[in-house]
Structure 1
């Protein structure tokens, strides 16, 4: 099985870009970490509110 030359060239270009770290300027680590923290707090809240002793 072989892929067309244009697809291979596109994959090579994609791989070359990945070796430079691949960081996106739009992803703010404080925003992502804060969002994950809020989601975990909400999960903790839901878990503790609906935990009923039997």
Structure 2
């Protein structure tokens, strides 16, 4: 079954297996930067007033 295989892979990834080169702080910081950039772009183009 596809769902059980995907669940097993996600559980392994969540436990830290397989991708030790990815820093959680770098990933979180990158995500925060992208979200702040999107917020800035949205507020720059939203000139309804």
Give the shorter-chain TM-score range: 0.5 to 0.7
User: Larger helix proportion, structure 1 or 2?
Assistant: 2
**Number of residue pairs matched?**
36
| Runs of at least 5 residues in structure 1 that lack an aligned partner in the other structure | 1-14
Q: What TM-score, normalized to structure 1?
A: 0.56
| Runs of at least 5 residues in structure 2 that lack an aligned partner in the other structure | 1-8
Q: CA RMSD in A?
A: 1.9
Structure 1 residue runs of 4+, over 4 Å off?
A: none
* Greater relative contact order, per chain length (Cα 8 Å cut-off, separation 6+): 2
